[in-house]
Structure 1
Amino acid sequence: MTTVLIVDDQPLQRFGFRMLLENNPDTSVVGEASSGSEAVRQTAELHPDVVLMDIRMPGMDGIEATRRIVASGGRSRVLVLTTFDGDAYAYNALRAGASGFLLKDARPQELLAGIRAVAAGDAVAAPALTRRLLDGFVQQPPPGAEAGADPRLEVLTGREHEVLEAVAQGLTNGEIAERLTLSESTIKTHVSRIMGKIGARDRVHAVIIAYEAGLVRPDRPGPAQS
């Protein structure tokens, strides 16, 4: 059973999420919050597995609430909701520590799958969406900087570099296994070790680190490309 805290300033939106989650046998709603400050307080009190976080709210927004929840060091993970996949707010929420994001028009099964994925520390819904978002907003090392020279990546083996690069490209464990001719369980073990070595909270954080280190270059025009 995955416990969820719903955070949204719109009562009807919260009601819709609650109806969906309470009618699903694998999820349980432990509370609702209408603002970022309420979300921080209730997360500290209720310790939900997943905080379903709206980003744009009056007062403390979802980005700051996410930052405070993650900084508290608790086990709760944040899944943010946004209106479109090129949203700078969604990128800032990932940088603040969110474990992933979904579009607000996602189908019910996509939302449920995203909640399960976040609770398990895995990629959320479609990795390609996360990559497209990072392509648009991530800050790359200066032109000429050696790709992958970030000290956080120096502890990785050659194989782990390959796996992290593939993860950052939006590939699933199965797709990485096929590319590297390894078993999916071996890839899962590699990913777990990589996250431990580089200090990543989860798979999404590992992707952000890979981008910031220059291990993967954005698919957009500009001097940062190689």
Structure 2
Amino acid sequence: MTLRCLLIDDSPRFLAAARGLLEREGLAVVATAMTGDDALRYAAELEPDVTLVDIHLGGQSGFDVVRRLTGEARVAPSSVILISTHAEEDFADLIADSPVAGFLPKTGLSADAIRAVLGRTA
């Protein structure tokens, strides 16, 4: 089964690059969003299998967006992964306290890494 993915990041360049990479590796990117409001709308409409949320979304906190996704849009916490250019250690306490499956550095983003965090195999 192909994983359906929603990407949330404030960088159009990153969104395009990540979409291309993940689609080449067999994931279906169902939508990309640059704001929390768009993320909530797409999550509710499209019900992706996994949602990747950047920790820094311009003027918004990715942690706040995750709380809204898991609360308002009823996205399963086990299907949300935080991403960042920063090291996991920089946000370890916040990540541990957030309702997410895990964290991936943007430099380590791949379909296999996403599946590993979700505990799924190809």
Contact 1:49 1:75 in 2 (8 A): no
Amino acid at match of 2:18: F
Residue 68 of structure 2 is aligned to residue 68 of structure 1: yes
Amino acid at match of 2:88: D
- Name the CA shift for 1:22/1:32 in 2 (closer, same or farther; >3 Å): same
Encode CA deviations 1:55-110: one digit per residue, 9 max, x unaligned.
1113432101111222243346111112112112x53244221110011222x5xx
Gaps (5+ residues) in structure 2?
none
Corresponding position of 1:57: 57
Contact 1:80 1:100 in 2 (8 A): yes
Contact 2:101 2:118 in 1 (8 A): no
Corresponding position of 2:115: 116
Gaps (5+ residues) in structure 1?
123-226
Encode CA deviations 1:13-61: one digit per residue, 9 max, x unaligned.
0011011111122x10000000222212211111111111101113432
Identity percentage of aligned residues:
32
- Name the CA shift for 1:44/1:59 in 2 (closer, same or farther; >3 Å): farther
Q: Tell me the SS of whatever aligns to 1:66.
A: helix
Amino acid at match of 2:8: V
Which has a greater percent of strand?
A: 2
Corresponding position of 1:38: 38
TM-score by length of 1: 0.47
Matches of 2:111 and 2:80, distance apart in 1: 14
Contact 2:88 2:105 in 1 (8 A): yes
| Displaced runs of 4 or more, over 3 A | 72-76, 118-122
Q: How many residues align?
A: 117
TM-score by length of 2: 0.82
**How many Å apart are 1:116 and its aligned residue?**
1.1
Structure number with larger C-alpha Rg:
1
Q: Greater relative contact order (Cα 8 A, min sep 6): structure 1 or 2? A: 2
Corresponding position of 1:11: 12
Corresponding position of 1:87: 90
Higher mean displacement: 11-20 or 66-75 = 66-75
Aligned-residue CA RMSD (Å): 2.2
Amino acid at match of 1:34: M
Matches of 1:70 and 1:99, distance apart in 2: 12
